[in-house]
Structure formats: C-alpha cells, structure tokens
Amino acid sequence: MIGVMNSMQILRGWAARHAHWLAVAGLLGAPQAMAAGEYANSPDVGEFITEMTRDYGFASEQLTALFADVERKQPIIDAISRPAERVKPWSEYRPIFITDARINKGVAFWNEHAEALARAEKEYGVPAQIIVAIIGVETSYGGNTGNYRVIDALSTLAFDYPPRAPFFRKELREYLMLTREEQVDPASLKGSYAGAMGLPQFMPSSFRAYAVDFDGDGHINIWSDPTDAIGSVASYFKRHNWQPGQPVATPAKVKGEHVDQGLSAGLDPDKTVGELRALGWSSQDALADDLPVTAFRLDGAEGPEYWIGQPNFFVITRYNRSVMYAMAVNQLSELLVQARGANQ
C-alpha cells in the first residue's frame, strides 16, 4: 500500500525506473520487455499508446515498457460485472458508516490534523467536520485505500470492460498525465478496483481538477499525506459551490394527501421550500420559500424519515451520487462535532 511510502521514495522510484527505459531505447532502438504482460501486444493498447504519444507528448518506448508490465485483473472484471446488490434501506446503510469506532477514529484524526483542518476551513469555507467525515466514510481515515495498482485497475477496465471502456480509458489518460506532472512512477500507486485513489478516493480526473499541494512541498500526495488530502477535499467542495455557514439537511414533518408529490425525482434540487409547504411539508428551520431543495424520504429504523436537502446537500452528492451517502457524511460530521466537544 502506498501509505507505507513517503513522497520522496515515490519520486526516487519514478526517476530510477524510467531512466533505464530511455537508455534501453537509445541502445536498442526499441524496448525489450523481460516478460510481456497481457497487454504487451494488445492492438487497443497500441492505439492508446499512439494517442498518448501523438496528442500528449509521451514517449512511446516508455509507455510500451509500462504496459508490458501491466496485469489484467479478472477479479476487477468480476466485481464490476456482478449484478447490483439489493439496495439497502437507510436503517441498514447508516450503521455501516456511523459507528463508535469510526467516530472515535475521526476525533483522533481531527485532533492530529487540527491545524490543517482549521486552515482548510478558513481558506475554502468547508467545515472541518465535513472534511473529516468524507475521509472517514471513504477510507476510514486511510485504513482502506485499496490494494490494486491503479495502472492495473484502469487498464483492465479500459481495455477489457466494454460497457464503460470510454470512461476508464479517459481516466487512464488522466492518470498517466498526473503521474507525469507529479513525477511519480505510474506502476507504484495503489487504489480501489475502479482506480479511486488515496485517503479521499479521487479518480484521476478529479485529482487533476481539484487536488492541491496543501502542505506546499511542491507535490500533491493524497496517499500518505493527510494535509494534501484535507486540502484536496476542501478544494473539491469549494469548486462545487459549497456555501459556508449553511446547513446540509433539515428533518421535515409531513401531513396530508399530497406529501409524496413533493419528493424529488433525483438528486437535483428540483423543488422549492414554498412548493413543499403547499404539499404538506414543514420544518423547524426557517427556510426561504424560493430556496431550491432536494426532498427525500428514508426508511429509518423507526419508520419513514422525511428530509429537506439544502444546496450543501447537493454538493455532497457531487462527491458520490447517493442520497444515503450524503446523509451518512452529514450525520457522521454532526456526531464528530459532538464527540470532539465532549472530549475537550
């Protein structure tokens, strides 16, 4: 796992690994793979290498040597092809992510990185508890960042999973570009079976768009540098229009025959508070009638729960397109505040 490396080791690994590619190419005119992998002679990979060479300035001999070492991972194909599990109700989903252990680890993470979290909150306007909750839900504060080489995961899905090949081919391109920009060995980094990376589980395109060098060392390392991970999550939320000082979701009371007409069709805020009021929705919070919101119902442990998701709720769903994910992040963040306050 990349967490056992420090940034300098990664950078040295890149330099050491790629220096010999150029030397071999200079001496022999073409790379000589010691043991060709599954993609060594793939026409699709050859086409991809041509594209990366022609359009993005990569050296074909380096990419040829890299892909000769790439391994096709059948478990990844099996996992992504598996029929979707039954969608868990909120009463089963919530206990997966909101546990005493995760709250305690979150408070410890917050205390350890309080300075970076406070700085991120000041610079980006994103509350520390939201940043900590995201990292907690995604990887349990770095405890589960994935064990697949990112190059293997993305290549497997780009070249051997036709239903989503265009998406993963784009992510593979983004990955190679980010490793070049960060001067990191593309064969060294690990992530999830879908290629999500580091403490916040950024896909390569998100890394290049939103990740930041928050500790100012000249490189972005979201694998083993919590400071960069914290700043990157905050950057992501700010770029997706997080509204500082505003709530995420409000519990609603409902009555009447038209309540369900207020439920949103998807994640987008497609109702206004005024429209919900006319359909029998109310809340204790003072919400402007013209505020666009997402209205939803969850199957809670004690029965149906009705909620009004405000603009910041929608921002969380940009990170993961799920109502229950956003609610888990929101409620974990609230419990982190309570637990940390009780311990101080």
Residues involved in catalysis: 138
Backbone angles phi, psi at 115, to 5 degrees: -65, -45
Among residues 145, 148, 155, 204, which one has the least CA distance to residue 178?
204
Name 168's Cβ contacts closer than 8 Å, sequence gap at least 6.
154, 157, 158, 161, 195
- Maximum Cα–Cα distance for the chain, whole Å? 80
Region class of 241: left (phi > 0), else alpha (psi between -120 and 50), else beta: left
Residues 199 and 226: beta-carbon distance below 8 Å? yes
- Identify the sign of the CA torsion 158, 170, 132, 214: positive
Give all strands (DSSP E) within the chain, no chain letters: 148-149, 190-191, 249-254, 271-272, 281-282, 292-300, 303-309
Strand 303-309 with 190-191, pairing: unpaired
Residues 140 and 102: beta-carbon distance below 8 Å? yes
Residues 199 and 141: beta-carbon distance below 8 Å? yes
Listing DSSP states for 236-266 in one string gives: HHHHTT--TT--SEEEEEE-SS-GGGGS-SS
Report how far residue 36's alpha carbon sits from residue 64's, in angstroms, rounded to the nearest whole number.
10
Strand 292-300 with 303-309, pairing: antiparallel
HEC-encoded secondary structure of 80-149: HHCCCCCCCCHHHHHHHHCCHHHHHHHHHHHHHCHHHHHHHHHHHCCCHHHHHHHHHHHHCCCCCCCCEE
